[in-house]
Structure 1
């Protein structure tokens, strides 16, 4: 008989980013035992792959195997606690990820073998999930299905007249687009004082746009980010648009850019249909 422990935590990042943070040594090392300096991380993030997190100085560790992965919503793994020369029983942990309020609700269900271990595991999970919630976010990834062919959807980003029909429709906005590699763009709203400028780093016809991204607002100047937009045909028709926004400075809270890009991508799907 095991004892079920359930812990939840809201993380201000999309499920794709939270999911990825569990499955690589680099991702896990940014939040798991960040206060224990000598912790090492070995992570083979695939079904059947093993992981080992260990601190020699603290004399503790955990190891196990990923038994089920459903990107970006579910991670299941075995769990064996290591303390000194003692190896604990093999237990099961389930990590469920669900979109919630422009972020992710993380629900950890740990089937603990011994009742007297429940409270210490509760404290441990609250601590590491708190670290995860405070994790600086290096990038965000969003997707949107657009009911238009891939070539048309691609060109909608590079034609000023078409851009005006969906980007900030109805706003006092100007659009300047030099659609070539090394060309510049500027989108500005005189009414709100907001805008964005950048340079096209890569243009692959009908497939991919890579551009620098510099946000303009009354606030202090922001650093220059990089945005990649990819276009893929769907078997069901239409286009899958995948947008990756890489921050020059990792963000403690990506709620605003996630909200902004989500609104823009929805508008593309709703307004720019040939």
Structure 2
């Protein structure tokens, strides 16, 4: 079944970050209007008070007819294809929402939504809420499908997805006898990756456009494996996060992501922390990845 929205969970257990990507047939300028025009926002998001048109402007968002279903925020960034706001719903700790429009070659556009939460307990609830909201946007753009599930089921499915994503992420720590800049280059460039990633197999092909929104692709034809994804966060030399799609004879993985954090130590070594998330109903996928990451990081260690 076609899944219109791709999801990812990055960040930390204390401060989860929800990522959504959904493509629309609408032209980029149409999607921009839906994102910037308060009268159009009311058709799919909520009633906006305060005329938030510039950085620093405050606003109130009434999300339903319930008088308590209200959020407040202020504009942090406002560009043609980028809107970023602070957000606090019903007095919760302030979070940050970033919406980015990416024009697509065939005339449509992709909306990339990133919600960095300040509290861990709201991830599943916001996951469901955003899932339903992105479907409301599709209807507002006249892209609603008669086969689409009712809003309540769409929201419930989003809640289930993020409950699985937050259930049991894989957490790995590894220390390397190399400076943080050197470890960063090993991960954050195609040239660096080629020196160690899957070097036990012949003819591995690696492409990496290391920037937010850039893509990477690693192919191992000898064993029929392809790994690819999109970079989400690139903060040199301390953080690199990206979606993760593993393709082999068994099919494609879905909604997985990896978040890498690098910390330079006083002795010149580097502590690497990996958080790998996926919608796993049991511990088997994480344990399989634990073994794979261990072997792969052994190769990185030997490269220094």
TM-score interval, smaller chain: 0.3 to 0.5
The structure richer in helix per residue is 2
Q: Whose strand fraction is larger, Structure 1's or Structure 2's?
A: 1
| TM value normalised by structure 2 | 0.43
